[in-house]
Structure formats: C-alpha cells, structure tokens
Homo-oligomer: A and B are copies of this chain.
Amino acid sequence: MRTAQHAQLALLLEVAGTPKPGNVDRERDFDDLRFEHFLAGAVGSCDGLDAAAAGEPVGDSFETAVEGMSQQRGGNAQFGALLLLVPLVRAAATWGLTPDDTVAVVEATTVDDAAGFYRAFEHVDVFVDDPPADAEELDVRRGADAIPAVRERGLTLSDVMELSAPEDGVATEWTNGFPRTFAAAETVSEGDGPVPDRVAAAFLELLAAEPDTMVAKQHGAEVAESVRERAAALRDADRDELETFADELVERGVNPGTTADVAAAATFVALERDGVIP
C-alpha cells in the first residue's frame, strides 16, 4: 500500500476501534456525526493525502484533504487528524517517518502553507477557542479573510501552530516532533489481536495520560482532567466498564476528539513505518 493509502486506512481503523470513550466508533454515533461520515471523510481526503505524498505544499495538501473530507453531511469528522497526517505523510514520502524528519517538515513550512491552513477553515466548521485579544485578526474562524494579516506578520504554518499550542493538542504535536503520536504507535504496532482493538487501546492510554484539549475547549479544563482521571482509573477495567464510560461520555456530549486525532496519526505510523497489516 502506498503512503497516502496508509493514511486513509489509518482514518478508517481509528473510527472502527471500539470502545473509544466519547468518540464515534464502530458501536457509537453522535446524533449529527455518524460512523458513515468518517467513512466518507476518509475516502474524500485521499486527493489531499496523495498531494502531500507527491510533494505538493503542505498547506495546499491540507486544504485539499479537508475540502474532500467535508463532502459528507456530518461536518467536521477528521480536521485534526488530517492536520497531523499531512506532515507525517510528507515526512514518510520524502525523508523518513521519524520525529526528526517531521520536525524538518514543520520547519520547512511557509507563509503560503499558513494561508492554505486558513483556507481549509472555509470548507468546514471547526470548534476552536476565541483567540487572544491581540490576535483577533488571526482568528482561524475568519478563514481566508485572515490571510492578509498572516502575510503581513510573515507567519509560517509552523508559527501558526506555535501560537495555538499548548491549548491545542494537535498544534502541540506539530511544535514538538509528534511525541505522543510516535509513542502511541508503539501500542498499535506491538499489541496483540485485531488492529482496531490495538487502536482503541492506544486511544485509552493517550486519554489517561493527558487531558484532551478539545474537551477542555468545549467543557473546561476541569471536565477534561476528570475524563483523564477516569480513563486512568479504568486502565485495567474490563470491557463492560469501558463500554459504560464510552456510553456516558457520548450521552454527555463530551468528545475527546483531539485524542482520537492522535490515535489516527499513531495508527498511520504503525502501518507505514512498522508494516502493521490488518
């Protein structure tokens, strides 16, 4: 399988892994965001992933991937996952799939890449925090309208990610050599049993280790920390307890989406670098 196909399969294996408390998985839907939206999102994102593998600019590739992902009725299924996957795909297709190579990809991003990132917000509604008072003109919700300010300040996509970290778990991976992604890949690669089960295990480890930044943005830091603690307490729980936790989070609308994004990226590393085959 080619690199871009591994990325696409990673998106599919991520959503198939169950239980992934608070997320759409093989057994759970939200009312408006359902399993099939993730299937269509994965299929739709392939042109952007192909572009990243072929050496097209990171920002353009990401925008293309998001535009394609958005061709379904569920809205934002995989924005964060694609934001992690595009530089990983680029690294894999050019130098190698190592933390150092991803740092090189990130450092090579340009102002044009930042513009592509902002344009991606034109295609889908993404839940984000209000920007700091001195950065309102850089608010991603302005989409392409923010690009003149980005250009005026000379911000690369790497710079934009630094502005978003550490409040955003995806941005933190970008600025940091993707440490959680590469660590979680070990769980997927070294686990036993069906690959989706290993993806779910990696998700739970990630959730137990750090508060999910999407939950923090939507429900506050206390809720995010309480979810982390609960996940940590359930480390050795049986399947029934995990299922109960998963059902409860979905009912409450508490969605650790950033953790799922990292799990998808980790799955890509397992497929592409470690040769995991479902």
Contact = CB atoms under 8 A, between A and B. Distances in A.
Interface of A: 1, 5, 8-9, 12-13, 16, 26-27, 34-37, 39-40, 42-44, 46, 68, 71-74, 194-196, 277-278
Contact of A278 (B1, B27, B39): B39
A194 B34 contact: yes
Q: How many copies altogether?
A: 2
A196 B1 CA distance: 27
Contacts of A195: 36
Contacts of A74: 278
B196 A40 contact: no
Nearest to A8: B43
Contact of A43 (B1, B16, B26, B35): B1
A9 B43 CA distance: 6
B278 A40 contact: yes
Contacts of A43: 1, 5, 8-9, 12
Nearest to A15: B39
- What are the nearest 3 A-B pairs in CB distance? A36-B278, A12-B39, A9-B43
Contact of A44 (B1, B16, B36): B1
Nearest to A35: B16
Contacts of A278: 34, 36-37, 39-40, 72-74
A40 to B, nearest CB: 5
B194 A1 contact: no
A247 B198 CA distance: 25
18 contacts: A1-B68, A5-B43, A8-B43, A9-B40, A12-B39, A12-B42, A16-B35, A16-B36, A26-B26, A26-B27, A26-B35, A34-B194, A35-B196, A36-B278, A40-B278, A72-B277, A72-B278, A73-B277
Most buried by B among A1, A35, A39, A43: A43
A8 B81 CA distance: 20
A189 to B, nearest CB: 15
B16 A196 contact: no
Nearest to A5: B43
Nearest to A195: B36
